[in-house]
Amino acid sequence: MTKKSYPLSKVYGLLEPGPVVMVSTQGKTGPNIMTMSWHTMMEFEPPMIGCVISSQNYTFSILKATKECVINIPTVEIAKQVVGVGNSSGRDTNKFEAFALTPSKTKLVQAPLIEECYANLECKVVDTKLVSKYNFFILEVVKAWINSAMKAPRTIHHMGKGRFMVSGEEIKSLSKVK
């Protein structure tokens, strides 16, 4: 999947609609992935993201130690893999291999990006004040990539209890928001 660099000022538009994302990290034993829905934009530029990663997740300890990850935005084409990644643990599974996902090199962090995702955000942890109480990490997006050939990516959205919907059509009739 050919990707090009994406302006940091436009990153918020990728995450505001609330897609399920996959967080990739580079642990001591190799690359790892988790599936995540609890995230929010916190600042436009540089883009800041707040996200909750349970301390029970393998990713939690890797992220705490390495302070780096990639937020990868998948589309419906790989929905089964996204769910599979969410239902397994990196403690006993190499998820890149198990789900046939391709780790690719990033530019500014050590964590790999997931090639099959249409957008990838290289992130550094910049604030851990709420990690111990809420498992809440604050990330800064330092570099963003997008598959610009994908004009209308159908992102995946969790509705709870393992039910998912895909993003729908654009509402064309609305006036612009400031």
Q: By the criterion CB under 8 A, which residues form the site for a copy of itself? A: 10, 12-14, 16-19, 35, 37-43, 48, 50-52, 76, 79-80, 83, 86-87, 129-130, 134, 136, 138, 154, 156-171, 173-178
Nearer to a copy of itself, 106 or 156 (CB): 156
Nearer to a copy of itself, 38 or 97 (CB): 38
Long-range contacts for 53-62 (Cβ within 8 Å, ≥24 apart)?
53/23, 53/135, 53/137, 54/135, 55/135, 57/89, 58/27, 58/32, 58/34, 58/89, 58/90, 58/91, 59/23, 59/25, 59/32, 59/33, 59/34, 59/90, 60/135, 62/25, 62/26, 62/27, 62/32
Nearer to a copy of itself, 17 or 65 (CB): 17
Nearer to a copy of itself, 105 or 172 (CB): 172
The DSSP annotation for 118-143 comes to SEEEEEEEEE-TTHHHH-EEEEEEEE
CB 89 to a copy of itself: min, Å: 10
CB 73 to a copy of itself: min, Å: 12
CB 103 to a copy of itself: min, Å: 23
CA atoms within 13 A on the CB side of 178: 0
CB 162 to a copy of itself: min, Å: 4
CB 5 to a copy of itself: min, Å: 17
Nearer to a copy of itself, 30 or 50 (CB): 50
